[in-house]
Chains A and B, each alone.
Chain A
Protein backbone atom coordinates (compact mmCIF):
# COMPACT_ATOMS: atom_id res chain seq x y z
CA UNK A 1 0.00 0.00 0.00
CA UNK A 2 1.78 3.23 1.05
CA UNK A 3 5.47 2.63 0.65
CA UNK A 4 6.59 6.04 1.82
CA UNK A 5 5.93 5.52 5.53
CA UNK A 6 8.06 3.49 7.92
CA UNK A 7 7.09 -0.10 8.36
CA UNK A 8 5.98 0.06 11.96
CA UNK A 9 3.57 2.92 11.58
CA UNK A 10 1.93 2.36 8.22
CA UNK A 11 -1.64 1.09 8.39
CA UNK A 12 -0.50 -1.88 6.33
CA UNK A 13 2.04 -2.87 8.97
CA UNK A 14 -0.41 -2.25 11.77
CA UNK A 15 -2.92 -4.49 10.11
CA UNK A 16 -0.36 -7.23 9.59
CA UNK A 17 0.73 -6.96 13.19
CA UNK A 18 -2.85 -7.18 14.31
CA UNK A 19 -3.42 -10.40 12.43
CA UNK A 20 -0.11 -11.83 13.54
CA UNK A 21 -1.10 -11.10 17.13
CA UNK A 22 -4.42 -12.77 16.46
CA UNK A 23 -2.75 -15.96 15.25
CA UNK A 24 -0.31 -15.91 18.16
CA UNK A 25 -3.08 -15.45 20.71
CA UNK A 26 -4.96 -18.43 19.34
CA UNK A 27 -1.86 -20.55 19.54
CA UNK A 28 -1.21 -19.39 23.10
CA UNK A 29 -4.72 -20.30 24.16
CA UNK A 30 -4.27 -23.73 22.59
CA UNK A 31 -1.06 -24.32 24.51
CA UNK A 32 -2.58 -23.09 27.78
CA UNK A 33 -5.59 -25.32 27.29
CA UNK A 34 -3.42 -28.33 26.48
CA UNK A 35 -1.27 -27.86 29.58
CA UNK A 36 -4.35 -27.31 31.69
CA UNK A 37 -5.85 -30.54 30.43
CA UNK A 38 -2.70 -32.53 31.04
CA UNK A 39 -2.42 -31.17 34.56
CA UNK A 40 -6.03 -31.79 35.46
CA UNK A 41 -6.10 -35.30 34.07
CA UNK A 42 -2.90 -36.13 35.90
CA UNK A 43 -1.18 -37.10 32.67
CA UNK A 44 2.00 -35.32 33.60
CA UNK A 45 3.90 -38.10 35.32
CA UNK A 46 6.62 -35.81 36.58
CA UNK A 47 4.11 -33.76 38.52
CA UNK A 48 2.52 -36.85 39.97
CA UNK A 49 5.78 -38.51 40.85
CA UNK A 50 6.98 -35.45 42.68
CA UNK A 51 3.75 -35.13 44.59
CA UNK A 52 3.96 -38.76 45.54
CA UNK A 53 7.58 -38.51 46.57
CA UNK A 54 6.79 -35.56 48.74
CA UNK A 55 4.08 -37.57 50.41
CA UNK A 56 6.32 -40.57 50.87
CA UNK A 57 9.18 -38.62 52.37
CA UNK A 58 6.91 -36.91 54.86
CA UNK A 59 5.41 -40.27 55.72
CA UNK A 60 8.85 -41.79 56.07
CA UNK A 61 9.94 -38.98 58.32
CA UNK A 62 6.96 -39.53 60.56
CA UNK A 63 7.66 -43.23 60.71
CA UNK A 64 11.33 -42.74 61.45
CA UNK A 65 10.63 -40.23 64.16
CA UNK A 66 8.41 -42.68 65.97
CA UNK A 67 10.73 -45.09 67.79
CA UNK A 68 8.10 -47.74 68.49
CA UNK A 69 7.87 -48.42 64.78
CA UNK A 70 11.37 -49.58 64.08
CA UNK A 71 10.93 -53.35 64.10
CA UNK A 72 7.27 -53.60 63.37
CA UNK A 73 6.86 -51.86 60.09
CA UNK A 74 6.94 -55.12 58.25
CA UNK A 75 5.80 -57.64 60.88
CA UNK A 76 8.96 -59.52 60.08
CA UNK A 77 11.00 -59.64 63.19
CA UNK A 78 14.36 -60.19 61.60
CA UNK A 79 17.15 -60.51 64.14
CA UNK A 80 20.77 -60.44 63.08
CA UNK A 81 23.69 -62.20 64.73
CA UNK A 82 24.18 -59.41 67.18
CA UNK A 83 20.57 -59.67 68.20
CA UNK A 84 19.64 -56.39 66.60
CA UNK A 85 16.48 -55.84 64.66
CA UNK A 86 16.45 -53.71 61.60
CA UNK A 87 13.43 -52.18 59.90
CA UNK A 88 12.74 -53.66 56.47
CA UNK A 89 13.22 -50.23 54.97
CA UNK A 90 16.34 -48.40 56.12
CA UNK A 91 15.05 -45.37 57.91
CA UNK A 92 18.04 -43.11 58.19
CA UNK A 93 17.37 -39.72 56.64
CA UNK A 94 19.85 -37.63 54.71
CA UNK A 95 19.91 -35.07 51.92
CA UNK A 96 20.11 -36.11 48.29
CA UNK A 97 23.28 -34.66 46.78
CA UNK A 98 21.54 -34.16 43.45
CA UNK A 99 18.36 -32.31 44.26
CA UNK A 100 18.94 -31.44 47.90
CA UNK A 101 15.79 -33.09 49.26
CA UNK A 102 15.57 -35.06 52.49
CA UNK A 103 15.38 -38.70 51.51
CA UNK A 104 14.99 -41.87 53.51
CA UNK A 105 17.89 -44.24 52.91
CA UNK A 106 15.66 -47.14 51.96
CA UNK A 107 13.95 -45.04 49.32
CA UNK A 108 17.12 -43.53 47.98
CA UNK A 109 17.59 -45.81 44.97
CA UNK A 110 14.15 -45.25 43.43
CA UNK A 111 14.47 -41.59 44.26
CA UNK A 112 17.80 -41.35 42.47
CA UNK A 113 16.27 -43.14 39.52
CA UNK A 114 13.76 -40.37 39.13
CA UNK A 115 15.96 -37.57 40.35
CA UNK A 116 18.83 -38.31 38.00
CA UNK A 117 17.05 -40.28 35.30
CA UNK A 118 14.21 -37.90 34.57
CA UNK A 119 16.20 -34.97 35.84
CA UNK A 120 18.74 -35.67 33.14
CA UNK A 121 16.06 -35.78 30.52
CA UNK A 122 14.65 -32.53 31.75
CA UNK A 123 18.08 -30.95 31.76
CA UNK A 124 18.81 -32.30 28.26
CA UNK A 125 15.53 -30.98 26.97
CA UNK A 126 16.18 -27.58 28.50
CA UNK A 127 19.69 -27.53 27.10
CA UNK A 128 18.38 -28.52 23.67
CA UNK A 129 15.65 -25.93 23.53
CA UNK A 130 17.92 -23.21 24.88
CA UNK A 131 20.62 -24.03 22.31
CA UNK A 132 18.12 -24.15 19.48
CA UNK A 133 16.70 -20.86 20.70
CA UNK A 134 20.23 -19.44 20.85
CA UNK A 135 20.98 -20.63 17.33
CA UNK A 136 18.16 -18.52 15.91
Chain B
Protein backbone atom coordinates (compact mmCIF):
# COMPACT_ATOMS: atom_id res chain seq x y z
CA UNK B 1 0.00 0.00 0.00
CA UNK B 2 2.79 2.44 0.81
CA UNK B 3 4.78 3.42 -2.26
CA UNK B 4 7.78 5.08 -0.75
CA UNK B 5 9.73 2.93 1.65
CA UNK B 6 11.66 5.89 2.93
CA UNK B 7 8.77 7.90 4.15
CA UNK B 8 7.92 7.28 7.82
CA UNK B 9 4.25 6.74 8.61
CA UNK B 10 2.41 9.98 9.11
CA UNK B 11 1.42 10.11 12.77
CA UNK B 12 -2.30 10.42 13.33
CA UNK B 13 -1.87 13.43 15.56
CA UNK B 14 -0.29 15.46 12.76
CA UNK B 15 -2.18 18.63 11.96
CA UNK B 16 -3.23 19.33 8.42
CA UNK B 17 -0.75 22.16 8.17
CA UNK B 18 2.11 19.75 8.35
CA UNK B 19 1.10 18.15 5.11
CA UNK B 20 0.52 21.34 3.18
CA UNK B 21 3.37 23.80 2.90
CA UNK B 22 2.50 27.38 3.79
CA UNK B 23 2.99 30.21 1.34
CA UNK B 24 6.02 31.21 3.33
CA UNK B 25 7.54 27.78 3.01
CA UNK B 26 6.87 27.65 -0.71
CA UNK B 27 8.50 31.01 -1.24
CA UNK B 28 11.42 30.02 0.96
CA UNK B 29 12.01 26.96 -1.17
CA UNK B 30 11.86 29.03 -4.34
CA UNK B 31 14.28 31.54 -2.84
CA UNK B 32 16.75 28.81 -2.03
CA UNK B 33 16.36 26.81 -5.22
CA UNK B 34 16.82 29.81 -7.45
CA UNK B 35 19.94 30.86 -5.56
CA UNK B 36 18.37 34.19 -4.79
CA UNK B 37 18.51 33.66 -1.03
CA UNK B 38 22.24 33.14 -1.20
CA UNK B 39 22.70 36.24 -3.35
CA UNK B 40 20.56 38.34 -1.06
CA UNK B 41 22.42 37.12 2.00
CA UNK B 42 25.79 37.93 0.47
CA UNK B 43 24.55 41.35 -0.55
CA UNK B 44 23.22 42.04 2.93
CA UNK B 45 26.42 40.80 4.50
CA UNK B 46 28.48 43.08 2.28
CA UNK B 47 26.32 46.13 3.00
CA UNK B 48 26.37 45.51 6.72
CA UNK B 49 30.13 45.16 6.70
CA UNK B 50 30.68 48.32 4.68
CA UNK B 51 28.68 50.49 7.00
CA UNK B 52 30.39 49.23 10.13
CA UNK B 53 27.39 47.36 11.48
CA UNK B 54 29.33 44.13 11.65
CA UNK B 55 32.14 45.82 13.56
CA UNK B 56 29.63 47.20 16.05
CA UNK B 57 28.21 43.75 16.62
CA UNK B 58 31.68 42.28 17.06
CA UNK B 59 32.52 45.00 19.55
CA UNK B 60 29.38 44.18 21.52
CA UNK B 61 30.42 40.54 21.55
CA UNK B 62 33.94 41.29 22.72
CA UNK B 63 32.70 43.56 25.48
CA UNK B 64 30.35 40.85 26.68
CA UNK B 65 33.08 38.21 26.48
CA UNK B 66 35.49 40.40 28.43
CA UNK B 67 32.88 40.89 31.11
CA UNK B 68 31.81 37.30 31.43
CA UNK B 69 35.14 35.69 30.85
CA UNK B 70 35.85 33.91 27.59
CA UNK B 71 35.28 30.45 28.97
CA UNK B 72 31.79 31.18 30.22
CA UNK B 73 30.27 32.37 26.97
CA UNK B 74 28.08 30.35 24.62
CA UNK B 75 27.16 31.15 21.04
CA UNK B 76 23.60 31.41 22.25
CA UNK B 77 24.60 34.10 24.76
CA UNK B 78 26.21 36.13 22.01
CA UNK B 79 23.21 35.77 19.73
CA UNK B 80 20.99 37.10 22.50
CA UNK B 81 23.39 39.94 23.14
CA UNK B 82 23.51 41.24 19.60
CA UNK B 83 20.08 40.39 18.20
CA UNK B 84 18.04 43.28 19.62
CA UNK B 85 20.63 45.95 18.87
CA UNK B 86 21.47 44.29 15.58
CA UNK B 87 17.93 44.25 14.29
CA UNK B 88 17.37 47.83 15.35
CA UNK B 89 20.54 49.32 13.94
CA UNK B 90 20.44 48.17 10.32
CA UNK B 91 20.76 51.39 8.32
CA UNK B 92 17.51 52.37 6.62
CA UNK B 93 18.83 52.48 3.06
CA UNK B 94 20.30 49.00 3.44
CA UNK B 95 17.06 47.63 4.80
CA UNK B 96 15.00 49.39 2.14
CA UNK B 97 17.18 48.06 -0.65
CA UNK B 98 16.96 44.47 0.56
CA UNK B 99 13.23 44.69 1.13
CA UNK B 100 12.80 46.03 -2.39
CA UNK B 101 14.77 43.15 -3.86
CA UNK B 102 12.80 40.62 -1.87
CA UNK B 103 9.55 42.19 -2.98
CA UNK B 104 10.71 42.07 -6.59
CA UNK B 105 11.47 38.40 -6.18
CA UNK B 106 8.08 37.74 -4.61
CA UNK B 107 6.37 39.45 -7.49
CA UNK B 108 8.29 37.36 -9.94
CA UNK B 109 7.29 34.04 -8.48
CA UNK B 110 3.71 34.56 -7.47
Contacts and interface: CB of A to CB of B under 8 A. Distances in A.
A114 to B, nearest CB: 15
Contact of A28 (B28, B62, B82, B98): B82
In this complex, the interface size class of chain A, counting residues with CB under 8 Å from chain B, is 35 or more
Contacts of B110: 1
B2 to A, nearest CB: 34
A99 interface: no
A47 B24 CA distance: 43
Interface string A118-136: 0000000110111011001
Interface in B43-80: 44-45, 48, 50-59, 61-62, 65-66, 70-71, 73-75, 78-79
Interface in A1-36: 1, 12-13, 15-29, 31-36
Contacts of B41: 23, 26-27
Give the most central of A17, A29, A39: most B CB within 10 Å: A39
Contacts of A92: none
Contacts of A33: 75, 78
Contacts, number: 111
A24 B98 CA distance: 11
Interface in A44-78: 44, 46-47, 50
Given A16-B103, A28-B83, A35 B52 contact: no
Interface residues of B, number: 50
A32 B54 CA distance: 10
Nearest to B110: A1
Contacts of B81: 32
Nearest to B101: A16
Interface of A: 1, 12-13, 15-29, 31-36, 39-40, 42, 44, 46-47, 50, 125-126, 128-130, 132-133, 136
Given A23-B44, A25-B83, 13 more contacts: A1-B107, A12-B106, A13-B99, A20-B99, A20-B102, A27-B44, A28-B83, A29-B79, A31-B54, A31-B82, A36-B78, A50-B66, A133-B53
27 contacts: A1-B110, A12-B103, A15-B24, A15-B106, A16-B99, A18-B24, A20-B98, A23-B37, A23-B98, A26-B41, A27-B41, A27-B44, A28-B82, A28-B86, A31-B57, A31-B61, A32-B82, A33-B78, A36-B74, A36-B75, A39-B65, A39-B70, A40-B70, A125-B55, A126-B59, A129-B55, A129-B56
